[in-house]
Structure formats: structure tokens, C-alpha cells
Amino acid sequence: MWKLIAAAGLALFVLSACNTVKGAGEDVQAAGHAVQQEAAEAQDAM
């Protein structure tokens, strides 16, 4: 029984880590879009 509980806990940990990495990836993507937008605006201003 404890093996089942340990496996369930491990699965929850792994799944929560995936969500954390996904969120971080989305943050990096949003930052990339912001940099790209600023670069386009700077280029248009030249």
C-alpha cells in the first residue's frame, strides 16, 4: 500500500513540475515577444 502512495506522490510531483516548466516557458515566450515588439518599434523610428 505504501508503494502505491509513494508512486502517487511521485506522479503528483512530476506533474506539478511540468506545469511549472510550462509556466516558465510561457513567461520566456512573453518576454521574447515584448523584446521583438520593442525592436520593431525602434526600427520603425529610425
For 8-46, how does the pLDDT look when each residue is reduced to its tens digit (9 = 90+)?
877 777 777 777 777 778 888 988 899 999 889 888 988
Q: How far apart are CA 7 and CA 42, in angstroms?
A: 52
pLDDT of residue 3: 82
Q: How far apart are CA 31 and CA 40, in angstroms?
A: 14
**DSSP 8-state code for residue 46:** -
- The residue type of 34 is A
Question: pTM to 2 decimals?
Answer: 0.57
Closest to 26 (Cα-Cα) out of 37, 38, 42, 34: 34
CA–centroid distance for 29 within its chain = 8
